[in-house]
């Protein structure tokens, strides 16, 4: 089912109906979604702690599975990463509370297990060797992949990351900032930008553009990949972005971006480049090709990040051309986990 097709401009954005001016007071501090942690090779014998804003999550693995739970013991807040791991269980290093898949199965010197003595566990996915987890105990949507593609046919690069002074919802709205696309990306739009949503929590924009950059990197892209690109950016919730670019010379670019709030005003952006697996002969060159694609993607996004640094969405300073951003926020608040809390003035 298609939920929304082609955005419509509104005549007065500053009077945007039931939309709330104070986003930071109504959106969640941390959006629900899939969060990138690390490559599976970094999960060795000892568990690791991953932080999202002020929340800490514990990750470890055994021979067959990867586990994610709260990183602190509910008894006295001890650091569970210092505890003993045994397959799916972990024992608190401070008093010996033992948890198996989040359930407390042993308390020291007592047969009774207090009702509070459990820890939360979280859904986890291994995507071509890269570990993501959902920050709710139940995922609101499954981990997506590029539409009409099969993950088994792909291989992935190592990840890259950088940090920026930008809050999560301003960063998320960037995917629908049409004026930014027209102004910054060294691309000349050859078509209207189409915005649509084909499933819950998914919203995409698609456009065709001419590559007009004059740097050495852009010239190489034009020579090897082509002078035109059809780009699709699929946004899932507010922190997971799947980008698919099809160039005129037949080259296709695939990469995933994931944002993690570090605090109220800063985010970490992690990226992974994907490529379809090739035959045995071509596979000899695939690591080199992947490294080149990763470098080009990283440098492109690094330059992009500089333009986002310090930006902050403010409904009071928007105008008609910002309508797609506002429509994205309205669409987002219609989903579980993002529903706007009604204030007394708007109830």
Token pair 């002074």: residue: 165
Q: What is the pTM of this model?
A: 0.89
Residue 341: pLDDT band with limits 50, 70, 90 = low
- Asked if residues 65 and 88 have their Cβ atoms less than 8 Å apart, the reply is yes
Percent of the chain at pLDDT exceeding 70: 88
| pLDDT for the residue 344 | 41
CATH for the 151-332 domain, from 3.90.380.10, 2.60.40.1930, 1.10.10.10, 3.10.450.50 = 3.90.380.10
Residue 340: pLDDT band with limits 50, 70, 90 = low
Q: Give the separation between CA 107 and CA 115, rounded to whole angstroms.
A: 12
Over the stretch 125-167, which tens digit does the pLDDT of each residue have? 999 999 999 999 999 999 999 999 999 999 999 999 999 899 9
Termini Cα distance of the chain: 30
Mean pLDDT, to the nearest integer, of 6-33? 58
Domain ranges of the chain: 34-134, 151-332
Class of domain 34-134: mainly beta
Between CA 325 and CA 332, with CA 328 as vertex, the angle to 5 degrees is: 145
| pLDDT for the residue 17 | 45
Mean pLDDT, to the nearest integer, of 277-297? 82
- Asked if residues 256 and 271 have their Cβ atoms less than 8 Å apart, the reply is yes
| pLDDT for the residue 304 | 79
Over the stretch 163-211, which tens digit does the pLDDT of each residue have? 989 999 999 998 998 888 777 677 888 888 899 999 999 999 999 999 9
């Amino acid at each position: 089912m298609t939920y929304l097709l082609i955005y419509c401009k509104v005549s007065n954005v500053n009077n945007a109906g039931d939309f709330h001016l104070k986003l930071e007071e109504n959106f969640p501090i941390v959006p629900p979604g899939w969060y990138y942690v690390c490559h599976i090779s970094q999960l060795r014998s000892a568990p690791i702690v991953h932080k999202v804003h002020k929340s800490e999550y514990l990750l470890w693995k055994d021979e067959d599975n990867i586990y994610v739970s709260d990183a602190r013991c509910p008894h006295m807040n001890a650091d569970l990463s210092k505890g003993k791991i045994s397959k799916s269980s972990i024992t608190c290093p401070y008093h010996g509370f033992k948890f198996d898949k989040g359930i407390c199965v042993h308390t020291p010197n007592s047969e009774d297990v207090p009702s509070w003595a459990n820890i939360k566990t979280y859904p986890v996915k291994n995507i071509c060797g890269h570990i993501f987890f959902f920050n709710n105990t139940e995922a609101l949507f499954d981990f997506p992949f590029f539409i009409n593609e099969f993950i088994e046919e792909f291989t992935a690069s190592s990840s890259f990351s950088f940090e920026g002074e930008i809050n999560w919802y301003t960063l998320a709205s960037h995917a629908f900032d049409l004026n930014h696309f027209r102004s910054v990306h060294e691309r000349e739009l050859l078509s209207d930008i189409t915005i649509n949503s084909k499933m819950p929590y998914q919203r995409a924009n698609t456009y065709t553009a001419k590559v007009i950059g004059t740097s050495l990197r852009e010239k190489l892209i034009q020579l090897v990949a082509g002078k035109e690109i059809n780009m699709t950016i699929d946004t899932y919730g507010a922190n997971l972005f799947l980008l698919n670019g099809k160039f005129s010379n037949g080259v296709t670019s695939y990469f995933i971006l994931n944002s993690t709030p570090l605090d109220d005003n800063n985010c970490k952006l992690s990226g992974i480049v994907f490529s379809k697996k090739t035959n045995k002969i071509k596979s000899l060159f695939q690591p080199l090709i992947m490294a080149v694609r990763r470098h080009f993607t990283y440098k492109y996004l690094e330059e992009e990040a500089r333009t986002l640094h310090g930006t902050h969405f403010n409904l009071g300073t928007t105008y008609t051309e910002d309508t797609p951003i506002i429509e994205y926020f309205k669409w987002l608040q219609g989903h579980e986990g993002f529903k706007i809390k009604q204030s007394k003035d708007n109830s």
